[in-house]
Chain A
Amino acid sequence: MTNISATTAIEHAAGATRVAKRKSPTARGRLPVLILFLPPALLLFTIFVIMPMGEAAWYSLYRWDGYGLPEQFVGLRNFEVLFKNSAFLTALKNNFLIIVVSLLLQIPLAIWLATMLANRITGVVVFRLIFFLPYVLADVAAGLIWRFVYDGDYGLFAAIAGFLGVETPYVLADKDLAIYAVLAVVVWKYFGFHMMLFIAGLQSLDKSVLEAAEIDGATGWQKFRFVTLPLLGSTLRLSVFFAVVGSLQLFDMIMPLTGGGPFNSTQTMVTFLYNFGVTRMQVGLGSAVGVVLFVICVTLAFSYKRIFMRHD
């Protein structure tokens, strides 16, 4: 479990060649096993992952309501419409904002907590459990719980405002505030997962290096900054990767919180896809969103691998 080798999909090309080269003894019945074992996965994957993705690219060039065959070819019109749509631009901006908050707030918080909880202090197990708990809850449930927390009439925010004697804020109804309220829930839900990654990373560190630094008179912060942090590099990259990928597909949590509103101020790419593509059955437009999201994901995966993961 602590074998932290930060790798992504693409890297395993190299691994596979190694398998092929490894001399494996021949056994009887190579063909039957291939015929029996491969097709189920291959079929499922092709029919429900690869083909829909290809079809999304195809449909995105049409105006289509999903019935019959797509016939009204519109070229790149859907993409043009998309990038002129202010709700979609807000969605892009929000996805970017979520990534930024994950990187600048959530991961530092996770590292800070991990440094405290990687040692065997009293109560360590309880704290770890509590912090990890939101991660196992469904996004929908977390979203609804926080909808209550933020509720200006019944929720905790109302009570806190009453206690402080200020006017009750309706955070989720305020188009300037709502997105920050959503961001807080994202951090609340996911910091524990990243913390566990860092705890695993910290525990696999070579303790002697830290001791050496200590003997050389390094202070706590110096030890952290110049020894621990660089050694956590691969965990950090892994954590960033999950934060980015997760941020891009955020949907489940937004729906119970705001549904993308008010005034589309909390749309993400996927809620936009749902609100404008699925519910209105605009297959072309929705597929265009899918294609944009796909291109962003793939570009990120490849460039990320190129830039940050060369050393792993």
Chain B
Amino acid sequence: MTETRTAIRMSAGTKIYLYVSLTIIAAVVVVPLLTTALGGFKTLGDLRVNPFGLPAEWQWSNYTDILFGERYWRQMMNSLIIATLTVFLTVSVAAMAAFTFAHVKFFGATFLLNYFLIGLMFPAATAILPLFIRIRDLGLLNSYWGVVLPQVAFGLGMSILLFRNYFRNLPEELFQAAFVDGCGYMRFFWHITLPLSRPIIATVAIVSFVASWNSYILPLIMLNSESIYPWPLGIMVYRGEFGTEWQLVLAFITLTILPTIIVFFLAQKHIIAGLTAGAVKS
């Protein structure tokens, strides 16, 4: 209510100031993105004389060549596989561990929880060389699992924390009622906790999916053949190959970030809530 009132009371001057500032900043955000997408439709010469405007002649072939090639789809597929495996493992492993922390009393629970929370304090980059050696010695180099397992492990601290905080706030009565009826921990977890925890499962899934989809340093170190490169690596290879043929690179960038942008606009509410709640609730 207060909000609508402030809206009405705003003077014309404030309004102009507000919208002019917002529009300028929005332009700074959007212009690079738009010129990237439009640049993909230009010829190199056109790009050189006219990077801002509409293409003199729309070069659809820049885009269609990529779309009809195999390379783009293979990279998207690789990213999707890695991200899906990461999400699935993170959610299941973290939810199970968090369940024991939230509902099962056992010796050393506090100590163990803090042990997992150490993982929140430093990024994967700090241990990247030993991690590389470990993955190599396990024979997982250049495989999806070589990227997935470290990603899951480094996401565990945050995910366990989110799950545990959520599980603990489920009504205690449910738990008691279930046990009086002779329900064991496993059934309780499967039939009561999980169905009630959809929001937090969504949050953890979104956070780990976005992190995995965009991740660069781990695949960069663990993978060495282009056939299993996820798109952030693939895009760098593409850029290296086509050097200064910016129009092709721009088309490629546009196509690789397109899925993110589409999904973002379709599910913006969930994604923003997920990504910020992931930060705030922990």
A residues at B contact (CB < 8 Å): 1-4, 7-10, 12-13, 15-17, 19-20, 24-30, 32-34, 36-38, 40-42, 44-45, 47-53, 55-56, 59, 66, 113, 116-117, 119-121, 123, 127-141, 144-146, 148-149, 151, 153-156, 158-159, 188, 192-193, 196-197, 200, 207, 210-211, 238, 242, 245, 248-249, 251-252, 255-256, 270, 273-274, 277-278, 283, 286-287, 290-291, 293-294, 297-298, 301
Contact = CB atoms under 8 A, between A and B. Distances in A.
Contact of A301 (B2, B22, B121, B260): B121
Contact of B185 (A12, A30, A139, A145): A30
A136 B118 contact: no
A136 B236 contact: no
A8 B38 CA distance: 43
Interface string B211-244: 0011111001100000000001001100100001
A135 to B, nearest CB: 7
B122 to A, nearest CB: 5
Interface of B: 2-4, 6-7, 10, 18-19, 21-22, 25-26, 28-33, 35-36, 39, 44, 47-48, 50-52, 93-94, 96-97, 99-106, 109-110, 112-123, 125-134, 149-150, 152-154, 156-157, 160-161, 165, 168, 172, 175-176, 178-180, 182-186, 188-189, 210, 213-217, 220-221, 232, 235-236, 239, 244, 246, 249-250, 253, 256-257, 260-261, 264-265, 268, 271-273, 275-277, 279-282
A42 B112 CA distance: 9
Given A154-B44, A278-B221, A290-B126, 12 more contacts: A15-B165, A48-B149, A49-B153, A121-B7, A140-B232, A148-B39, A156-B51, A273-B129, A278-B128, A283-B133, A287-B129, A298-B122
A159 B131 CA distance: 45
A52 B134 contact: yes
B113 A12 contact: yes
A26 B96 CA distance: 18
B246 A151 contact: yes
Contact of A8 (B29, B110, B120, B178): B120
A123 B232 CA distance: 33
A284 to B, nearest CB: 9
A41 to B, nearest CB: 4
Contacts of A26: 179
B153 A138 contact: no
B127 A129 contact: no
A130 B119 CA distance: 32
Nearest to B113: A16
A29 B182 CA distance: 11
Instruction: Point out which of B102, B127, B128, B182 has the most chain A C-beta atoms below 10 A from its C-beta.
Output: B127
Contact of B32 (A10, A36, A130, A149): A149
A9 B134 CA distance: 26
B30 to A, nearest CB: 6
A7 B282 contact: yes
A140 B236 contact: yes
Contacts of A153: 48, 244
A27 B51 contact: no
Given A33-B100, A49-B127, A196-B272, A130 B149 contact: no
